[in-house]
Amino acid sequence: MLFTKKPARAGGKPIGKTYTLRQLAAALVRFIPLAPRAGLVWGLHRMDPSLREQVMLTVARANGCRYCSYIHQEWAIRTGASDDEIAQLEGTDPADFDRGRWSALVYARSLAENDFGTLPAEIVADTARHHDAGERRNIEAVALVMTIVNRSANTMDALLCRLRGEPASQSLAAELIITAGLLTLGPLLVPALSLILRKSPLRLLREFRVFTAGQAPDDAQAA
């Protein structure tokens, strides 16, 4: 089935990468050997929190996920990334950016854009010059977790497009199953985000709407 144009969300922005059930299953299988790394990153803080959030935001942008881009822009700011650094995630200039960090972000973006398959040799070599094997595995774990979340959220958006008569993916089954799973987790995720970010659910919703309209939240503008 071919689409003549990329279906858009209600706000007019195109849907990012989505999942079929087969693709989601493959991603989950790929995650199994990286699960211990994810535990080290989030549980034992084996990656600098600011770098972790920048990696997550970079991957969210690559996957076109509006939900995760908003959340991790907020967290990138809170963990110490400057406004200039965050802006550079859209088009990084290595001359004005920490070279090792830039290399990590390019690696993470390339992983997402290439579906964690074969990467350009130049990117692999550059990353190896600045990060040892363990650090690269940490980046891979963060990028994969973020990709699974991003593309699942995009698949939920695709169902909303389908309901408007503009199908955005080829798998209705994936849209239904993934949306059901996310809605089941929603009552747990929203209070957790409110607690972590210290903002009411209504404020989160208001800032998310502003963010998806292409504007910065109030406190991001003031930073």
Say what the pLDDT of residue 41 is: 93
CATH of the domain at 150: 1.20.1290.10
The domain in which residue 148 lies consists of: 16-86+97-186
Residue 220 falls inside a structural domain: no
* Residue 89 CA: distances (Å) to CA of 101, 106, 126, 158: 11, 9, 18, 26
Written as one string, the DSSP assignment of 168-199 is -SS-HHHHHHHHHHHHHHHHHHHHHHHHHHT-
pTM for the whole structure: 0.73
Q: Per-residue pLDDT averaged across 32-51, rounded?
A: 93
Q: Which residue has 């990329």 as its token pair?
A: 6
How big is the chain by its Cα radius of gyration, in Å? Answer: 17
Instruction: Give percent above pLDDT 90 in the chain.
Output: 37
pLDDT in tens, 92-109: 565 566 778 888 998 999
Predicted confidence at residue 43, as pLDDT, reads 87
Domain total of the chain: 1
Q: What is the pLDDT of residue 128?
A: 96
Between 125 and 168, residue with greater pLDDT:
125
